Amino acid sequence: MAVSTTEFDYLRQLVYDYSCVVLYADKTYLAELHLQPIAESRGFASIGDLVSYLRNQTFGNLHIQVIEALVTNETSFFRDVYPFEALKCVVLPELIEKRAMQRSLNIWCAACSNGQEPYSIAMLIREHFPMLATWSVRLIASDFSTKVLARARKGCYNQMEIKRGLPQLLREKYFHKLNNNWQIKEEISQMVDFRQMNLVQSWSSLPEIDVIFLRNILIYFDIPTKKALLKKVRQQLRPDGFLFLGSGETTINLDESFERVQFDKSICYRLHNT
End residue of a domain, out of 16, 35, 70: 70
Residue 41 covered by a domain = yes
Residues 123, 242, single domain; the answer is yes
Long-range contacts (CB closer than 8 Å, 24 or more residues apart) made by 21-30: 21/71, 21/220, 21/221, 22/220, 22/221, 22/222, 23/70, 28/3, 30/70
CATH code, domain carrying 49? 1.10.155
Residue 192 covered by a domain = yes
Residues 166, 225, single domain; the answer is yes
Judge whether residue 120 has pLDDT over 70: yes
CATH code, domain carrying 183? 3.40.50.150
E-strand spans in 58-214?
A: 104-109, 136-143, 156-157, 175-178, 181-184, 192-196, 209-214
pLDDT bucket at 89, cuts 50 / 70 / 90:
very high
Task: Please tell me the predicted confidence (pLDDT) of residue 74.
Answer: 76
Indicate the pTM of the whole model: 0.90
Handedness of CA 244, 155, 201, 208 (dihedral sign): negative
Task: Please tell me the predicted confidence (pLDDT) of residue 214.
Answer: 96
Which domain range does residue 242 map to? 82-271
Residue 258 covered by a domain = yes
Nearest Cα residue to 209 out of 196, 222, 193: 193
Residues 65, 112, single domain; the answer is no
* 226-264 pLDDT tens trace: 999 999 999 999 999 999 999 889 999 999 999 999 998
Residue 266 covered by a domain = yes
Task: Please tell me the predicted confidence (pLDDT) of residue 274.
Answer: 52
Residue 200 covered by a domain = yes
Percent of the chain with pLDDT over 90: 81
End residue of a domain, out of 70, 102, 122: 70
Q: What are phi and psi of 258, to 5 degrees?
A: -100, 150
- In DSSP terms, 137 is beta-bridged to 105
Q: What is the dihedral of CA 55, 56, 62, 63, to 10 degrees?
A: 40
- Helix 5-19 to helix 28-41 angle (10° resolution) is 90
* 165-197 pLDDT tens trace: 999 999 999 999 989 999 999 999 999 999 999
The domain total for the chain is 2
Residue 75 covered by a domain = no
pLDDT bucket at 2, cuts 50 / 70 / 90:
confident
CA distances from 102 to 137, 166, 172, 268 (A): 11, 32, 34, 24
Residues 205, 107, single domain; the answer is yes
Residues 96, 47, single domain; the answer is no
Whether 200 and 225 have beta carbons less than 8 Å apart is answered as: yes
Residue 10 covered by a domain = yes
Residues 100, 122, single domain; the answer is yes
Which residues have a Cβ under 8 Å from the Cβ of 255 and sit 6 or more positions away? 227, 230, 231, 234
Please give the average per-residue pLDDT across 93-97, as a whole number: 97
Residue 155 covered by a domain = yes
End residue of a domain, out of 70, 98, 119: 70
